[in-house]
Amino acid sequence: MEKKLRLLWVFIMLFYSYSLNVEGRHHISKKSKSKSVISYAPSPVEVSVNQPSPPSATSSPPSNVVPSDPSYGGGPALNPDDCVFDVMEYGAVGDGSTDDTDAFVAAWKAACQVESAVLLAPADRTFMITSTIFSGPCKPGLEFRVNGVLMPPEGPDCWPKEDSNKQWLVFYRLDNMSFTGTGTIEGNGEQWWELPCKPHRGPNGSTLPGPCDSPTMIRFFMSSNLVVRGLRIQNSPMFHMKFDGCEGVLIDQLSISSPKLSPNTDGIHIENTKSVGIYNSVIANGDDCISIGPGSSNIEIEAVTCGPSHGISIGSLGVHHSQACVSNITVRNAIIRDSDNGVRIKTWQGGSGSVTGLSFDTIQMENVRNCIIIDQYYCLTKGCRNETSAVYVRDISYRNIKGTYDVRSAPIHFACSDTIACTNITMSEVELLPHEGELVEDPFCWNAYGIQQTLTIPPIDCLQDGMPQAIGEAVEYACST
In one-letter notation, the amino acid at residue 317 is L
Phi, psi of 225 (to 5 degrees): 55, 65
- Which of 175, 252, 266, 287 is the catalytic position? 287
287 noted as active-site residue: yes
Spell out a b/e string for 313-330, using b for 16 or more CB atoms within 10 Å of the CB, else e. Answer: bbbbbbbeeebbbbbbbb
Q: Around Cβ 427, how many Cβ atoms within 10 Å?
A: 21
Spell out a b/e string for 267-299, using b for 16 or more CB atoms within 10 Å of the CB, else e. Answer: bbbbbbbbbbbbbbbbbbbbbbbbbbbbbbbbb
- Which of 240, 310, 375, 406 is the catalytic position? 310
27 noted as active-site residue: no
Q: Residue 47 pairs with which residues in a beta bridge? A: none
Spell out a b/e string for 341-375, using b for 16 or more CB atoms within 10 Å of the CB, else e. Answer: bbbbbbbbbbbbbbbbbbbbbbbbbbbbbbbbbbb
Radius of gyration for the chain, computed over Cα atoms and rounded to the nearest angstrom: 28
- CA dihedral (157, 159, 160, 161) in degrees, to 10, reads -60
Question: Looking at the annotation, which residues are catalytic?
Answer: 287, 310
